[in-house]
A = this chain, B = another copy of it.
Amino acid sequence: MKIAVLPGDGIGPEIMTQAIRVLDVLRAEGLDMEFVEAPLGGAGYDAYGHPYPEFTQKICREADAVLLGAVGGPQYDTLDRPLRPERGLLAIRKDLGLFANLRPAVLFPELANASTLKPEVVAGLDIMIVRELTGDVYFGQPRGMRVNENGEREGFNTMVYTEAEVRRIAHVAFGIAMKRQKKLCSVDKANVLETTEFWKEIVIDVAKEYPEVELSHMYVDNAAMQLIRNPKQFDVMVTGNIFGDILSDEASMLTGSIGMLASASLNESKKGLYEPSHGSAPDIAGKNLANPLATILSAAMMMRYTFNNEAAAVRIENAVKKVLAAGYRTGDIFEPGMTRVSCSEMGDQVVAAM
């Protein structure tokens, strides 16, 4: 198993170091893994003048999976747009065909207080958001700025989904629902946008192959409300790229502990990019303060989704749960009465719990 390791920017390198230590426990026990490091985002720009340099492309294309820290930082804000760190992220998604973004929003019982929502509303929260990641208004053509036929300047983009794009993400979502509570909510704005009216039609058609899954449909504005009103009504949600961007971040924040949330972005052959849902936190970078658990849990998702190694995934997840139960907390999830630890100390604890 060849794993491309992309530490990225900001806290990326520190959290990645801890995730690799955890994976090294499995390697020492005989799991065949090879790590190859490469720069992405600002680090790619610094090393090769591009946020997704050819060097990194080659390594990622040859790897079975990619583990990413985080990208971005204020020092890159003045770069030309095509050179900015987030363009590296968009480029790697497109290059590797990572169309299925899985974003779990799970509340660890020990961290229930961290939520700004009342405990009874979020206790036990466990939503899986399936976001389409390589289509929609993110990649649609034509796009840009122009002077229109009335002589006015305008900015424009194209929202678009083909039948094949909707079918494959729907299959992923139904497949995941089958392994969970068998409830899938497809989010659209079919009352206004033809793109999502089309989306809805195709999802309904794919549903015929999954008679056991209870399919519902919700408008995106209502979904944004229902996530706050009663988030536990949801099991799996599936939606397009831009609505998924918004709703998955909203759902993450319901937990109050985004430093705990992993994500996976998969292609058609289950090759995946795994990364924490949080950002690069430039303010605390290099201070050994960051929470490495989301990256460690992303490594667990890698074991599950790309390497089909459920045992290894559960082992990592259980180690994280044990460490939380024992009261260890980085600053972002610290509460009085708990033991405050650094990024590397958190890594120590998870390694010990393995």
Binding site for B on A (CB under 8 A): 81, 84, 86, 90, 116-118, 121, 137-138, 140, 143-145, 148, 152-164, 189, 191-199, 220-222, 224-225, 227-230, 242-243, 245-250, 252-254, 256, 258
The one of B117, B194, B258 in contact with A143, judged by C-beta atoms closer than 8 angstroms, is B194
**Given A156-B158, A159-B158: A145 touches B220 (CB 8 Å cut-off):** no
How long is the Cα–Cα vector from A160 to B153 in the complex, in angstroms?
Answer: 10
Number of copies: 2
Q: How far is the CA of A269 from the CA of B128 in the complex (A)?
A: 46
A162-B153, A163-B153 are contacts. A228–B250 as well, Cβ < 8 Å?
yes
Residues of B within 8 A of A90 (CB): 192
Q: Is the CB of A194 within 8 A of B155?
A: yes
Which of B157, B196, B248 has a CB less than 8 Å from the CB of A195?
A: B157
Q: In the complex the two chains form, what is the Cα distance from A258 to B221 in whole Å?
A: 13
Chain B's closest residue to A247 (CB) is: B224
Q: How far is the CA of A162 from the CA of B154 in the complex (A)?
A: 4
Candidates B163, B191, B195; contact of A84 at CB < 8 Å: B191
A198 contacts B163, C-beta separation under 8 Å: no
Quick one: closest B residue to A121, CB to CB? B116
Q: How many Å from the CB of A64 to the closest CB on chain B?
A: 28
Return chain B residues, CB-CB under 8 Å to A86. Answer: 191-192
Contact A192 B138 (CB under 8 A): yes
Nearest CB of B to A159, in Å:
4
Do the beta carbons of B155 and A198 come within 8 Å of each other? yes
